[in-house]
Amino acid sequence: MEAIIVKDSNGNLLNDGDSVILIKSLKVKGGGTTLKQGTLIKKIRLTDNEEEVDCKVDGMSIVLKACFLKKK
């Protein structure tokens, strides 16, 4: 099985457990909330898709596109 390579908006490699920062405010579908630009997200988990990461923010488990993230 080939390892999935996930890169942030600056081209840095992301790994399970990394901390990232949002580079853009994002509306959460179905949640009725907005994640603000600059929000720190800890302990991300990689998914089967190289463009997405799984994480928990404010108790919600959500999937974010890696292009909106910057490695801390």
Which residue has tokens 């994640």? 35
The domain ranges of the chain are: 6-71
Rounded to an integer, what distance in angstroms lies between the CA atom of residue 25 and that of residue 36? 4
CATH classification number, 6-71, choose in 3.40.50.970, 2.30.30.40, 3.40.640.10, 3.40.50.620: 2.30.30.40
pLDDT of residue 70 exceeding 60: yes
The reported pLDDT for the residue numbered 30 is: 83
pLDDT of residue 1 exceeding 70: no
Instruction: Say what percent of the chain tops pLDDT 90.
Output: 82
What would the pLDDT profile of 39-48 be if each residue is shown by its tens digit? 999 999 999 9
Q: Is 48:4 a contact under the CB 8 Å cutoff?
A: yes
What would the pLDDT profile of 16-25 be if each residue is shown by its tens digit? 999 999 999 9
